[in-house]
Chains A and B, each alone.
Chain A
Amino acid sequence: MATDLKAAPGADPFDGINLADLEKSLLRPRNLIGAFLTGTVMVFTFLAIYPLFSVLFAVIARGGEQISLSLFTELPPSAMEADGGIGNAIVGTLVMVGIAALFSVPIGIFGGIFLAEVGPDTKFAQVVRFSAKVLTGFPSVLAGVFAYGVVVLATGQFSAWAGGFALSILMVPVVILTTEDAIRMVPAKMREAAIGMGCTQAQVVRHVLLPTAFPGILTGVMLAISRAAGETAPLLFTALFSNNWLESTTEPTASLAVLIFNFSGSFARNQVQMAWAAALVLVVLVLITNLIAQTLAPKQVRR
């Protein structure tokens, strides 16, 4: 080919080639298959996102008409009662998620610091990392059974503490793994500069790593909170439910998630509507935490 070109300078190199054959044409099977697959993948993507909008639409349409002041200030209605609200369930959810955060955030952050900075390449760290990864996929219902055995059977009663404890088991792995990632994303020269100044490891963490990795860590904490707020199964065994206001953290406690579960199977229309209202409140709560987490998340540098 090359010698041909040399032999006849100025000749058309495309001589004898039908240029129409090189054009992309849908008539050729390989292009047709490609177009078909592109279309299929587009439809599937639409199908995958459709449920999000369908859920949001259903929750807003059916729960929205229940929104009023009494929804937040009154107790759940019995079967045929006209009014009522979900005030105690909102309080219960917030209290239990708070308790869970109290346990899980310090453990998760210190654990994450260990994995990223104190002993990242030790055998011990590998065991911890593996445990955390297995725990992220751990069925939440089993976390509830565990908390039932450890807290409820030991103290002899269902309580907000037991519920918070069960939720914290689900939060710890999320916090620890995102903290590790966030700290690892801190540029190496920053921590090396601090070490060069004579900082101890604690000072490096306190003055360089934590402030720099803070948005990433907060993202992890927010994601963990939003996950815990929606969890139902662990609470069935630990906090149970209550139709009264929360008076102490050592008694059965209402939560939005369990209220939705209990009322979803109800024959009474007003209770089903209350379940939709609770779902709306819960979804708004969870989506807001999630969106905050996503906006805080450090932008990853790719490719």
Chain B
Amino acid sequence: MSTLNTPNSPQPSARAPTGAEYAINGTFRAVSYGFAGLVALLLAFIVFEIFRLGWPAMSERGLAFITGTIWDPNKNEYGVLPEIWGTIYSSVFGLLIGTVLGVSVAIFLAEGFVANGVFAILSLVGLQYRPFWSSMPERVEMFLKSLIQLLAAIPSVVYGLWGIFVIIPMIRPIGNWLHEGLGWIPFFGTELSGPGIFPAGIVLGIMVLPIITSISYEALVAVPHKLREASYGLGATRWETILAVIVPTAAPGIFGGIILAFGRALGETMALAMLVGGARTISLSLFAPANTLAALIANRFGDANTPADVGLLLYAALVLMVITLIVNMLGSLVLQRIAVKSPTATTKGAKQ
């Protein structure tokens, strides 16, 4: 022990842990095991509990609940097919908007367009290498990135409020113009009277955009530099490089992000409950009001007085959970696969 010490230190600086320290360490490890296990248990418990809650209605109604289109307490007939349709349709439409915008933003931020643009503007005035100004390109890029992240911070209920009072009045003329001109296309088949898939999908797209952007950004930045440089070396332009080399290489990551965003969109509740219109119709028209599973649960729960009413909503929750769990697990698996693959790819690259 004493041989380890430097000559001038009176006290040993390194020593074996005491018994008490071992005991604390043991407790600490046990607690951390326990709390980590709690998280895994929580997921299992949630899945179990929602199955348990939905079970009575499920055993009573069976598959007719999923395939039925009528919700009529007088006839004692209940079905959520319109809600399932609305959930998937609004999510796909929202995802389309979110993907187009989100991937564009990711390319814009990851491929240095911002930095180059700012640099070009600065060089017009000759400031590009001055102490403060030289960091501007990077700063502007960071600023844009945090603005996109702030989009994710705004609560969905605020998006809903904004959708009702700002988006719907804004897009109603556009929607009706499309309906008048192109009404023969099923997507524009009805008039946009107010709430519907179209405004709901727009807001949904904005809400999933930050997830798609941040995951795509990570994937684009992770593309090895030599691929890019090889492409430039062969004489490709910047956009030819992006479209033919960088995006295809990053595609698995972008795809994983899109699936995760799809899971979010399916489960999103408040914005849809406020914007989708709550109509039980199955229509291809984007301007028709519709309903979603989450919106059904949120809107009807307040009026559900009897245990049987609540049971129906719990069954609807079960259906929603099964759909979102499948989509989410797929997304996580895709992303995990890439995360496992990529480190080996980079070490291989370093060796060569």
Contact = CB atoms under 8 A, between A and B. Distances in A.
A276 B161 contact: yes
Given A124-B37, A201-B28, A145 B158 contact: no
B53 A205 contact: no
B108 A42 contact: yes
Interface of B: 13-17, 21-22, 24-25, 27-29, 31-40, 42-46, 49-50, 52-53, 100-102, 104-105, 107-109, 113, 144, 146-151, 153-162, 164-166, 206, 209, 213, 221, 225, 237-240, 260, 263-264, 266-270, 273-274, 294, 297-298, 301-302, 314, 317, 320-321, 324-325, 328-329, 331-332, 336
B32 A49 contact: no
B270 A232 contact: yes
A230 B122 CA distance: 40
A200 interface: yes
Interface string A196-221: 11111111010000000000000000
- Which of B39, B46, B156, B270 has most chain A Cβ within 10 Å? B39
B98 to A, nearest CB: 9
B156 A230 contact: yes
A161 interface: no
Contacts of A128: 36-37, 39-40
A215 to B, nearest CB: 16
A132 B269 contact: no
A62 B53 CA distance: 41
A48 B39 contact: no
B297 A290 contact: no
A40 B221 CA distance: 21
Tell me the interface secondary structure of chain A in the complex.
helix
A79 interface: no
B158 A279 contact: yes
A115 B270 CA distance: 33
Given A41-B104, A138-B324, A282-B155, A143 B22 contact: no
Contacts of B263: 137
Given A128-B37, A202-B25, A302-B221, A55 B154 contact: yes
Interface string A31-63: 101100110111011011101101100110010
